Amino acid sequence: MVSLGIYLYLAPSLPDAEQLKDVDLQTPLRVYTEDGLLISEFGEKRRSPISFDEVPQQFIDALLASEDDAYFQHIGVDFKGLARAALELIRTGRKKSGGSTITMQVAKNYYLSSEKTFKRKFTEILLALKIEKALSKQEILELYVNKIYLGKRAYGIQAAARVYYGKTIDQLTLAQLAMIAGLPQAPSAANPINSPERAIERRNYVLARMRTLDKITDEQFQTAAREPISARYHGPTSEVSAPYVAEMVRRDMIERFGSEAYTAGYKVFTTVDAARQQAANLALQRGLLSYDRDHGWRTTNDNRSVIPSEPLSLAHQDPVLQEWLAKADPQQDIDWPQTLEQWRSTLNRRPDNGVLKPAMVTAVHNNGAWILLKDSEYWLPFSRIEWAKRYVNVNVIGDPIKAAGDVLSRGQEIWVEQLGDGYRLAQFPEVEGSLVSLRPRDGAIQALIGGFSASSNEFNRAIQADRQPGSSFKPFIYSAALANGFTPASIINDAPVVFEDASLESTWRPQNNSGKFYGPTRLRQALYKSQNLVSIRILKQMGAGKAINFIEPFGFPREKLSRDLSLALGASAVTPMELATGYAVLANGGYAVKPYLIQRIEDDNNNVLYQANPAIACSDCDRNDNNDNNNDLDAQQALEQQLRDSLGLTNEEQPAEQPKTPLAPQVMDSRTHFLMMSMLQDVVKRGTGRRALVLKRNDLAGKTGTTNDQKDGWFSGFSPDLVTTVWVGFDQHVTLGRWAYGSNTALPIWVDYMKEALKDVPQRPYQQPEGVVSVRIDAETGLLAAPGQSNAIFEYFREENVPQQPVKSAPAFGDDSPDSDAELIPEQMF
């Protein structure tokens, strides 16, 4: 009667066990590359749900041996176990075991609190009986292994396998499976990281139970019981390092879903290409380290020492040992076991930073040093130390060092740069940088880095740092000029000029970096030689307002663009992302695309919640705005087919039921684009971007940039398939040094990245559009070449802008020809 009364009292409040079939487990937010590699995960609970069929049989045997060996025989409640627990409580006054079955634990974990009351226990029993009627044994066990807490933020056996062993559950040994199977009893206090002794005792108990139940052989038991503990903490496994990308996605997801973003198991697939992101990581870090080496060795906190442990105490009573200790050399005779343990503990507290690895100096010789890394000891030859001349200031370094001991000492904490065949002495650079790489046809972000290390500074310079772009902004001024009647052969006087302009607040005397003036200069020459006075004069002729109206649609916020002549020299601060967006227009044929990072969002059941549908740059698509065509279904389908054909997509890759693909607006006509692109190719072929020639491609174009006092170094360049912007500078807006320019700071990083990013991409030279012709002109005047003129050059023009007047005489140029490379100088803002 008592049982009946309890049932009648509790039954109305029991939840529906059928709901467990549709239960949503709290799983973290995961961020992936476009090709499905994990970038990062966010959330308090680490969980990776798996199906019953994915659980190894040996783990099921271990779990049941540990928790509920009669699981497949009882009806959800082990009445004998409950009776035993009750008698134990009555006899001792203490509850040693709860008699809970796995089904009862599922009831508690999914529906009930952890309070220890009789009401909760009776509710747990009744719920277990309902669950057994609603679900199969396999379904219940699947719920259990995915919900149970196993320590170190790991919920479920798959997460535990990754946290403790860095593997999936099906890759574990018998001993490791038994270790995890023993964790539910005391996951925090007896896990193999917090308490190895208790964990191994519990593991061996599980193994012994398996042997008793004939689930393993005696040989298997003996082997597994002797296996040493191999568990250590494994943080969230990242297959691709892109911390700035991960943070951008996290913020976006919080805006979309609130705190649910951390627990609902959302999967975000970004546009990032894994191989390109990895290439960008290496290129940027190695480029910044190269700059850092060129400016000498700084004494910083990174160079602190961990003093080696002394030999055995001098107070030792053994007279023989006392005599030895009195003669011991404290520089050599140290307590090595204790010292190595201390050094390894220090190293384990310091995370890797990309190509930089923490190390301890263990011994120093004239010709090199022995260093200890987390995994082993390595020899660091003097040839990889000798760069470390003393840093004096940004323009001065000290005398050459003569031995490794000039900079290193035993016990010193250092950084080393990982190379293909070993390591090189390094230091954490103070200089910063960023890289943004976009797919110009639609603005998809292929790679993004906001600084040398997100672990040391989360400030994302790619999207948050407004910096003056210097001469790398000039292509937009020149594009506006070409759209407003100028030609690549237009002659502009590169001569001194003084501006009395109220908007500039003072008299302005701009000049070229060399201090020289080159007189009448063709527009093409002025761009690849980066002559400042020409840029200023063409902007003055156009007017800043007209130039801004042309440039703004490229993706630059209007409020950031200066409305005075300093606009011509890149004095308007923009972010690397904004500059890359502008260059995407130059790369894709003249179409404004918007950068985007999230390709699609899926829920925990792989349902697509969001799918990006970016506007596409398509020069071959029909953009007829005629109302009849817009309303005609056949015309729309034809337009879609043109777009698919232009992108090389099959009909299957873009099903008919998907949203129509929008077309990016054209903000530069094809003829202006071709002229501008050909001028930017000359920057690479014969101007300040010539370092890019090492890539041996004929479809590259771009522009360097260096701001006043060398505070910023830039290179933005592109092929038809990829546009990339690199920035280098100090966060404090101080000079990079008198010899630092975009061409030797940012451009080498760009080259190293593009070498890998375009490795398997075929060359695609830009096609000359209709209405553009090539004619022979006189290089000095820009007029038509005289018949038979031997030093004439070819230039592109719109048909209507071809010079009509021939040159009156044909001068013969020597090394000082306007097309000579002899006068090339680094570019500078002013």
Residue 821 has pLDDT above 70, yes or no: no
152 falls in which pLDDT band (50, 70, 90)? Answer: confident
- 704 by DSSP, 3-state: which? strand
pLDDT of amino acid 527: 94
- What is the bridge-based pairing of β-strands 356-365 and 413-419? antiparallel
pLDDT of amino acid 163: 85
Rounded-to-integer distance, Cα 779 and Cα 491, Å: 10
The CA angle 625-629-634, to the nearest 5 degrees, is 140
pLDDT of amino acid 329: 55
- 549 by DSSP, 3-state: which? helix
Rounded-to-integer distance, Cα 777 and Cα 783, Å: 5
pLDDT of amino acid 89: 47
663 in Cβ contact with 643 (< 8 Å) = yes
130 is written with which tokens? 């309902």
If one compares 293 and 1, the residue with the highest pLDDT of the two is 293
Could you read off the pLDDT of 555-608 as tens digits, one per residue? 999 999 999 999 999 999 999 999 999 999 999 999 999 999 999 999 988 899
CA nearest neighbour of 412 among 297, 300, 306: 306
Least confident span in 52-56, 123-127, 248-252, 516-520:
123-127
User: Can you name the CATH fold of 45-226?
Assistant: Penicillin binding protein transpeptidase fold (1.10.3810)
If one compares 705 and 624, the residue with the highest pLDDT of the two is 705
| 799 secondary structure, DSSP code | G
User: Can you name the CATH fold of 436-593+669-757?
Assistant: Beta-lactamase (3.40.710)
Rounded-to-integer distance, Cα 756 and Cα 803, Å: 43
In 3-state terms the chain splits into helix, strand, coil percentages (rounded to 5) of 40, 15, 40
346 falls in which pLDDT band (50, 70, 90)? Answer: confident
| 697 secondary structure, DSSP code | -
Rounded-to-integer distance, Cα 127 and Cα 143, Å: 15
CB hemisphere CA count around 793 (13 angstroms): 20
HEC-encoded secondary structure of 729-783: ECCCCCCCCCCCCHHHHHHHHHHHHHHHHCCCCCCCCCCCCCCEEEEEECCCCCC
Rounded-to-integer distance, Cα 31 and Cα 37, Å: 9
Could you read off the pLDDT of 387-422 as tens digits, one per residue? 999 999 999 999 999 999 999 998 899 999 999 889
HEC-encoded secondary structure of 362-392: EEEECCEEEEECCCCEEEEEHHHCCCCCEEE
pLDDT of amino acid 50: 82
- What is the bridge-based pairing of β-strands 712-719 and 722-729? antiparallel
Residue 624 has pLDDT above 90, yes or no: no
pLDDT of amino acid 333: 57
139 is written with which tokens? 């379904």
Mean pLDDT of the chain: 82
CA nearest neighbour of 101 among 121, 74, 83: 74
Could you read off the pLDDT of 355-383 as tens digits, one per residue? 999 999 999 999 999 999 987 889 999 99
Portion of the chain with pLDDT greater than 70, in percent = 76
At position 717, the amino acid (one-letter code) is: G
DSSP labels for 615-684? -B--TTS-----HHHHT-HHHHHHHHHHHHHHHT--GGGS-TTSPPPPBPPB-S-HHHHHHHHHHHHHHH
Q: What is the mean pLDDT of residues 305-320?
A: 51
Residue 652 has pLDDT above 70, yes or no: no
Per DSSP, what are the bridge partners of residue 154? Answer: 46
Residue 56 has pLDDT above 80, yes or no: yes
7 falls in which pLDDT band (50, 70, 90)? Answer: very low
Per DSSP, what are the bridge partners of residue 422? Answer: 419
If one compares 321 and 268, the residue with the highest pLDDT of the two is 268
pLDDT of amino acid 628: 39
How many CB atoms are located within 10 Å of the residue 8 CB? 9
Active site residues: 67, 471
User: Can you name the CATH fold of 298-316+336-426?
Assistant: OB fold (Dihydrolipoamide Acetyltransferase, E2P) (2.40.50)
Indicate the domain borders of the chain: 45-226, 298-316+336-426, 436-593+669-757, 625-663, 770-819
220 falls in which pLDDT band (50, 70, 90)? Answer: very high
pLDDT of amino acid 514: 57
State which of 338-342, 646-650, 703-707 shows the largest mean pLDDT.
703-707
What contacts 24+ positions apart, CB below 8 Å, involve 504-511?
A: 504/564, 504/565, 504/566, 508/565, 510/536, 510/569, 510/830, 511/830
14 falls in which pLDDT band (50, 70, 90)? Answer: very low
Residue 506 has pLDDT above 80, yes or no: no
| 560 secondary structure, DSSP code | G
pLDDT of amino acid 275: 97
At position 194, the amino acid (one-letter code) is: N
Rounded-to-integer distance, Cα 214 and Cα 230, Å: 26
